[in-house]
Amino acid sequence: MAPASRPLVMLAAGGTGGHLFPAEALAGVLAARGIEVDLVTDSRAARYAGHFPARRLHVLPAETVRGRSPVALARTALTLGLGFIKGFRLMRAMRPAIVVGFGGYPTLPPILAAHYAGFPTLIHEANAVMGRANTLLASRVTAIASGYPDICAGKPTLAAKAHHTGNPVRPSVIAAADVPFAALEPGGPVDLLVTGGSQGARVMSEVVPAGVALLDPTLRARLRLVQQARPEDVEAVRATYARLGVRAEVEPFFADLPARIAAAHLVISRSGAMTVAELGVIGRPSILVPLPGALDQDQLANATALANGGGAVVMPQSHFTPESLAAALTRLANEPGRLEAMATAARAMGRADAAERLAALVLTIGKIDV
């Protein structure tokens, strides 16, 4: 492999859409400026990267810490070690101007390899608290970009190289942001979007239909509901809404989810970093149910940040019951002014220019002239 004739930026992302989406947004901005972009990822994420705007895809061995047993830890260490060795050879062959990581264990081998091979490195942390992989890398990288301000507060060495860029979002999200929030009309339809993240969430299929069943019939008749459900839950959810006479579109996946967010008066969702970023850029009120049990409590931190800004209501999963949801929906439907204020507050927290801000930082750290 020969180095690129134009400046090369290598993006390291893997695992989930929460890591791939911001990398994809950055890749689009860099490519538009005439910069070569390669993607370094693991075999799992490579299956979902077919449309990623990269010149070339490089797959390195990577593994997430899945257990605390000596055997599991040794297996993870061996896999990451092999990824580092292959990554070091890759960096010496490709000679990138900079390597940018987006969190998750698949970014450890390429970022560490770039660091020890002597190339500039940058990590982007999308969540309101730094994840474990980025925490391991933070002291070694050249610079840190963040989706939220002050994630390095109390750590002067890290804070000195931290830059708040926001979370880059896809072009379809930017397009959806042009759709103004439609104020809720008295007695008019209530557009409700329910989504559980890229893999769906069983709790949404269990709680939301049961909560809708508890609504006053007059309010229930006003609902126009769009719900993402796991494939195994779709038919049961559809059957419940049909029995209740609720207009509902239920599918395992919506390719046009940003447009669906823009059409909603209210979104019920998990609070992954990219979901919260998209709610902010598009500017829609939400009820957020953070994923419980996460070691980093990143979804709780993301949801709390949006709620503290006035754009969301946080409902811990332990309190996310049909009764509490029905009460919240009733309260919000009866306060259209509050929904509009939440939409405005969410939008105020969004960073529609985050991809451009991150690209500018990449060019600076990588000493790239365009």
Tokens of 42: 């693991």
User: How many helices (H) and strands (E) are present in the chain, helices listed first?
Assistant: 16, 13
d(CA 202, CA 287): 16
Is 18 a known ligand-binding residue? yes
Q: How far apart are CA 56 and CA 307, in angstroms?
A: 40
Residue 102 in tokens: 């987006």
Task: Answer yes or no: is 170 a known binding residue.
Answer: yes
Taking the CA atoms of residue 343, residue 347, residue 350 and residue 352 in that order, the dihedral angle to the nearest 10 degrees is: 130
Chain centroid to CA 368 = 28
Distances (CA, A) of 309 to 97, 108, 164, 305, 356: 38, 33, 17, 6, 24
Is 302:286 a contact under the CB 8 Å cutoff? no
Considering only CA atoms, which of 139, 98, 131 is closest in space to residue 16? 131
CA distances from 247 to 68, 217, 222, 243, 261 (A): 47, 13, 9, 11, 17
User: CA separation (Å) from 139 to 17, 19, 146, 358?
Assistant: 25, 20, 15, 19
- 198 assigned ligand-binding residue: yes
Residue 134 annotated as binding?
no
Alpha helices in 214-297 (DSSP H): 217-222, 234-244, 257-262, 273-282
Q: Is 16 annotated as a binding residue?
A: yes
3-state secondary structure of 50: coil
Q: Which residues contact 32 (CB under 8 A, 6 or more apart)?
A: none
Tokens 């075999």 belong to 43
Feature table: binding site for UDP-N-acetyl-alpha-D-glucosamine = 16-18, 127, 170, 198, 299
Feature table: binding site = 16-18, 127, 170, 198, 299
